[in-house]
Amino acid sequence: MNNRRFMIRLIDIALIILFGFIAISGLKTEYVNLPSGSNSQVTKQWPHEATLHIYGNYFVLQDTDREEKLRNLQDLEVMMVEVNNYYLQKQYKFVIKIEPHKSSIMQSLIDVFDICQRNNIDKNLNYDAI
């Protein structure tokens, strides 16, 4: 008799889980409007990556041919927007790779994320450096 009750409880649990999945699967459906093949123009932008090192009280922006040491967030934002606009004119997609140093504080990293968000700059966090 004990085995029979145990089997009924397992069936109840399985049905509850099944109904839960059914309910969740029908909650939100989004449709994506894909471009048609006849009148779509594909513009491929090649990515260009620059590295931003975040230290305790300064930032270092390394690009292919230059390295800038910046002392505050305002100068950093001006430089990042300038570099982003430069590569957009050359048909490149600018991506900034962020590498925080052990001496940096978390607020500096959040401020850099905010700068990227405000100016539509793609970012990538280097987890290996953390």
Report the side by side order of strands in the sheet with 59-62.
67-70, 59-62, 46-54, 92-100, 122-125
Q: pLDDT, tens digit, for every residue of 30-57?
A: 666 666 666 545 556 778 889 999 998 8
Neighbours of 116 (CB within 10 A): 20
Write down all domains in the chain, each with its CATH number in brackets.
Answer: 46-129 (3.30.420.270)
pLDDT at residue 113 above 80?
Answer: yes
Mean pLDDT of 51-74: 90
pLDDT band at residue 74, thresholds of 50, 70 and 90?
Answer: very high
Q: What does the pLDDT read at residue 26?
A: 62
* Radius of gyration of the chain, Cα coordinates, nearest whole angstrom: 25
Q: How far apart are CA 70 and CA 75, in angstroms?
A: 6
Q: At 90, list the tokens.
A: 């050359």
Contact 112, 76 (CB under 8 A): yes
**Predicted pLDDT of residue 61:** 92
